[in-house]
Structure 1
Amino acid sequence: MIRMNLNYIKLRDKLLFMYILSVFIPIVVTNVVFYQVTTANIRSQKTRDAGVALNNLKNELRVTIDQGVGLSYSLYADPVFNDTLSRSFANHSEYIRAYNSYLIGEFSGQLSQGIRWYQVYTDNPTILSSGYIEHLTEDVRKSSWYKQLQHKMVPYPTLIATDQTLSLVQRLNNQDTGGIEQLLKIDFNMDLLKEQFRNSGFDGKVYLVDPGGHIRFSNYPKSEEPPNGKLYGDIEFPNQTIRFDRVYEGINYLEGWSLQGVMDEEIVLQEVRKSRSFVIWLACINVVLPTMIIAAISRSIHVRLVRILKHMKKVKTQNFQTIPPEDARDEIGQLTTEFNRMTETIRNLIDEVYLADIQKKDLELKQQQAQLHALHSQINPHFLFNTLESVRMRSLIKGERETAKIVHHMAKMFRKSISWNQQDVTVKEELELIDSFLQIQKYRFGEKLQYFIEADPSVLVYRIPKMVILPFVENASIHGIESTAGVGIIRLSVRTDGSELHIRLEDNGIGMSTARLDELMQYLEQNMDIGEHVGMKNAYSRLKLCYGDRFSFSIQTEVEKGTHVQIRLPLDDKHHEG
């Protein structure tokens, strides 16, 4: 289990960590919780208000429809009225007398605020179309409301919607009519219904839906086309909506009818959204002000501690520079004063006691190194050559030809590396040295390593700085091929390209990451030490000394896919083997 040790964290990070846990997170969480609770409360309140408004609209709509139902039942239950409509009159005069004496009185004063018009239809041929009584003609039977009525054979009134009109239709068959069809059609005051929908207080869309699921009336404004006649289920609403369902139950003439309310949640939370900017500004103030205070205090501590640490590191390199004094009485100021005193004391001690002794020991060490170097220089390199040759001959005698071959290549490489008395060699000599090296590497890796060296015959006589290709081949075999799991392949090609000598080295090794490649190129260009690739650094530096800006060098690599190295050298007469 990993345990966090606060002693490993920098002071500046500790202050930042303390600020985040103690100030930033509590403020953010508090504001988020406050906003969420406020949003939930307002949403709940708006939902309750919308439900109450929809219930009130449902009751008002029923009261209006009940006005028509009352009129319908009064005429349905009147035996004299029904008998008069179904009676066969001998002539028009007889019907007129009956109309004036009874029928016209039945209709007087029957209209109310919710009823715009009502009409009685009969197919009795002996009556005249007059006032509220009309013949039930074929055109009437072809109308939409009449066709809808035929699907409902019920004794109570039927609520029917057609073309922006809501009607109540009642069959007047309370008694035997002798085959005469008599209907009462009551049209409701649509202006009143629109006003009821508009003044309902429901902040959204309201739909009056019939038992078949079709929208028969809605509160759409005049600027929008109402969806009357469409299925309510086919209407597409935004994702964030609140739905309300108010169904008429237990009322035979309203059975299956319902009020559907749809309210956009964005509209519901519009008031909260308006206050969101205020909450954000308040949170910003609560965050920015403590941030500025903590940043000022943190800087007062961090900057001065870093300055002390910087001067401490200078002491390690024997630079006993004191810290400029400052007007500070806190612990850091006292630490600065004591550090200056300590620095002065150490410098005096070194000057007085240790410096002379160090100089004496340094002189003795240099003398010992000079003697050792003289002894090394006295060793004859031919002794090593003769020893390697003895090992090779002994291997041949024992039949160990492969070992003898490798020893021969080692002796050949060593002899050439120290016996070249010139700074440049021919391409042929460089490639022979590389071949010997790769033979040794193949002895080491076995079948895991395969290499191919290709060179145009015309380029073999050109002279190049010695050992400028070998370090890159060595890097490809040791760092690239050694760590790969499969067969490692190294390809080296040397050819002319116009006025340039083109050297291309490819391997299918482990490659390098982009960060590692940038670090390597920076190491080659600048004087910095990363602990490896010394041979590459040496070869690159000698190329810059010999050619200046006239040569080009590039490395292309990808992790697990290999590395390509390209070197382009200029060709001129002085680099040609005469």
Structure 2
Amino acid sequence: MTQRVKSYFNRILGIKLRYRMLLVYMIGGALPIILIGMYLVHGMSRILIDQAKNVEVSEMEMVRRQAEEIMSTVSTVTKYFYFDEQLEEISLKRYTDYQDMVRDYRDFTSFLDYGRYYNSTIAWMNLYMKNPTIVENSRFIQVTGEMEEEDWYKSVSRKNGGALWHFHPVPAADYNALSMLRMLKTRKGEEVGVLAVYIRPERFHTLLQDRNCDTFVLLNGETVVVDLGDEIEPEQIKEYVTGGENGQSQKNIFLGNQEYVMTCETIPLIESQDFLQILSFKSYHDILREVGSQTAGSAAIFMVSAVLSITIILLFSHSFSSRVENFRAQMQKAAEGNFQLEEKLGGSDEISDLYDYLGTMIFQIQRLLAEIYRERLHAERLTIQQKDAEFKMLASQINPHFLYNTLETIRMRARKSRQYDIEELVRMLAKIMRSTLQAGSSEVAIQSEAELVEHYLKIQQYRFGERIQYHIHVEEDLKGVFILPLIMQPIVENSIIHGLEGKEGVGTIDIRIAGQDGKTAITIGDDGLGMNTEKLERLRRGLNSYSENGRHIGVSNVHQRVKLKYGDDYGVTIDSVEGSYTKVEILLPGAAELGGKVYAQSNDN
């Protein structure tokens, strides 16, 4: 055996070097490479098929998330109408005057307001009511006996406020749309009516229009909500639709003589037992054709590469491996948090493109981190300012009973001495101190805040005499509305210090609290010194920070507190003309949003 092996080896050594190298290359290199290449091409075909399916899954997951956002938006809108007093009045009121009904319809603007705000998602909103005295329109529809017998109306009535999803005609249009139905009730459990919020059909079309395969959207596995099928009819797919289990499924099915990959996303609908299914059907033949074109190219490239000289491969592999290693080193630096990468990798191939993408991604990450840092810093600054104000307020509340008792002692001494002016002055000062020291995050009634300002102005009148006059007007409906404490007194104090104190003659402060376009406006004006344009602009710019070296810090504080509490749509605005007037307006949410109750006059004793 050993002799035979030696014989074969000697024969190989006896072959010319050219043929020997060719034989060694064919046996030791080319043949294994060809076999491995065939195996890899076959495996690549399987991988590409799986990849095509995974791409379909990923795209459907994205569609699912966007669809869930649409459903969540609609659910949120329906909740806005819970315990809506205007809507309850329209539903429960028995109308005898047509003009009264028209006026109530006109005053109820929530449908229009929410419709404009969510215009891209919501097509229409209406209410089905059991009020025989109304004249129905496309917004307020009277429930008939025939309607009560319909399945959807019975279902939504049994849900006792829960949601029902239904696909039916839009009252104000000639098309069907997916809608969310909800029975609205009063706090006492009386039925207000069935609220219907319709989703724009084009929202689903927008989500699915870029897909290159037949796609359908079904409600509860039966009702076709969206039909984007070119080759497949909706009736063909219903037998393959499973129940409403949450999640995703994918399988191969045959429709006629054609095989398809069916991908299904099942979305449980909010607050109901209904579910939405998004189904896509991609031709398996098309997938194989795409995979075949890719694998054919790969096989061709492989065969050419097998024929090429090993020397050329070695030369290029050295350049390739060195650049890959450099790329790996730069990615490792980025992974370790060092974003200072080399400017260019060199070359103009895919690796260079990937390296450029890496630089772009790192730049975006840095910018995102900077934005997050700035937002967090801004939020922390607001929180620190709020905590600082609370700390200073708590610090000022040290032993308040001692202060109250001392002031009460002074007042009683003044009363015994028949110094009634001093007694009244001390009484008002005690009320101001009590309101100031007890102020915190709890809100106070507008009338209580107005009384505090009036006490402050009366004390100033003791100081300035007839030089300071004032007028305070509060709309009756707003007296019991609750707002942040101590937002008027700092403004009034600034009016006296910067506006009236340096003015010759009589100065007047006018305070008006009234409703304004659905919001609450507190206007504080004076006919004092005013300010020039430069100073006014500087003061306006300083509203969002404690500027002016402490001057007008009360105005900035009020502005910051209002924005922090009610949002960026509210705050302080200032207008002034030098030598004429200054007017400060504090804009707050409307009375319905602020909340409140009938105000009880405070007891001064």
Specify the TM-score bucket, using the shorter chain as the normaliser: 0.3 to 0.5
> Scaled by the length of structure 2, what TM-score is found?
0.32
Larger Rg: 1
> Scaled by the length of structure 1, what TM-score is found?
0.34
Q: Tell me which of the two structures has the higher relative contact order, counting C-alpha pairs closer than 8 angstroms and 6 or more residues apart.
A: 1
